[in-house]
Structure 1
Amino acid sequence: MNKWFTLAEYDHAAYGDAVDIIRRGCVLRVPSVSPPDPAWYPDPVMGFIVVQAMPFGAEPYGVSGLLVASGHQAGLMHVIFPKESLPKGYVYGLSTAWLIANWKKWVYPWGSAESVLIREPRSILRMPAVKSPRWKTSSQQNRSRTRSNWRTLTTYGSDVIRRGCILRVPSVPPPEQEWDDAVGCLTWYPDPVVDFIVVDAESFEGRSGLLVASGHKSGLVLVVFPKESVLQGAGGLSTAWLIANWKKWVYPWGSAESVLVREPETILRMPVTRSQRRS
């Protein structure tokens, strides 16, 4: 299910009347109030991913948080919810009813839960087209549009990958000698293509990490990189280090040459919602 729903519609459309849970990996889109609120974000619309918050220092295990997934502050945690946010009878997840009732207190004091849209994690079926290497010479008029396109990691053109950037990685069959018979292909991910967002793992001395942003394991942290991954003087993830250590730290069977990267995107408008009365 990759359609957008209001929070009030979501439970019935996704799971039926008996379930009150927003699972990790769901995406929320939140419009800013008008005029823009300086204490919020400067973007017209904000995207958030529901994440399992343990790697970010949360207690107890299983509580959820919202990670910023768009705009200038993409890759930062927005909020980690309290234990009371857990759905009744669950040790993980986020209660839809609790989120609606506590939206102004915990997420956005000036916004309304009625204006929020939500969708399930999306599986990616194919890799996108790659931008031309001539993007650096494009005119200033076209630069903002051009920057939203994908580039290969090995020709990224920047020494540092900043938080909020998206890495898109195609899956490959693990070689037979590396196959784990206990879990099969799930030694990686079952999806044809997996997106990761570069996050600022504040609990880990300023180092970066990768959080899964699509598919079956969306909302989980894949890896927190070591201190050596930080580009000195830039305070971000070293592109050269990531390329050199791709197989060791990210994907043993994949290749850095096949990875695509793009900058964080600004969302300009809300998507169209899907009616509860689906055909």
Structure 2
Amino acid sequence: MTETWSSRGISTRRWTPLADLRDTSLWRGDVIRLPHHPEIGPDSRPVDLLIYELWGYDQKLGLMITKGYKAGMPLFYAPKESQGEGKLSLETSWLHANWNKWFVYNYELDENENPVPMPMTGTLVRRNSRPAPRLNV
């Protein structure tokens, strides 16, 4: 199932459930939409996370909040093992395998004092980009 929306009636962006993307590479410029904010909880509105490249660091990606009070702030920096072999991408297979570790509620702890994982259900991905070229700088 793909959800679509229209921007100014000109272009259509496609949102795909993360659960449907098993072995896909996500690139800088792609957006992950969580069904609610990890710091506010299930009563909040959806939050978009932009995948971006950290300049000045050796091939590292991060996820940045795009709207609201925390806009422009990173949610986290993705570890090297989240990337595809020989490419600067965020792999959906890594997201599926490590979701409960990296996507957690920051305000709620379980009985062992560990953050409670967010459900992956309702998480969408919008592909905005193509593979990033290798630049010789």
TM-score range, shorter chain: 0.5 to 0.7
- How far apart are the structure 2 equivalents of 1:254 and 1:244? 14
Pick aligned residue for 2:127 from 263, 270, 275: 263
Pick aligned residue for 1:218 from 62, 71, 93: 71
Q: Is the 8 A contact 1:230 1:236 kept in 2?
A: yes
Tell me which stretches of 4 or more aligned residues in structure 1 moved more than 3 Å: none
More contact order relative to length (CA 8 Å, sep ≥ 6): 2
Return the structure number with greater helix share.
1
Answer with 1 or 2: which has the greater Rg.
1
CA RMSD of aligned residues (A): 2.5
Residue by residue over 1:148-187, the C-alpha shift from the partner in whole angstroms, topping out at 9 and shown as x without a partner, is 2100112136521111111110128xxxxxxxxxxxxxx7
The SS at the match of 1:231 is coil
Post-superposition offset of 1:240:
0.5
Aligned amino acid, residue 68 of structure 2 = G
- How far apart are the structure 1 equivalents of 2:36 and 2:97? 19
Match of 2:107 in 1: none
Gaps of 5+ in 1: 1-129, 133-144, 173-186, 266-279
Return the structure number with greater strand share.
2
- Percent identical pairs in the alignment equals 29
Task: Give me the TM-score of the superposition, normalised by structure 2.
Answer: 0.68
Q: Is the 8 A contact 2:61 2:88 kept in 1?
A: no
Pick aligned residue for 2:16 from 151, 174, 178: 151
Gaps of 5+ in 2: 4-10, 105-115, 130-137
Q: Is the 8 A contact 1:210 1:222 kept in 2?
A: yes
In the alignment, is residue 189 of structure 1 matched against residue 40 of structure 2? yes
- How far apart are the structure 1 equivalents of 2:86 and 2:121? 26
- How far apart are the structure 2 equivalents of 1:257 and 1:241? 16
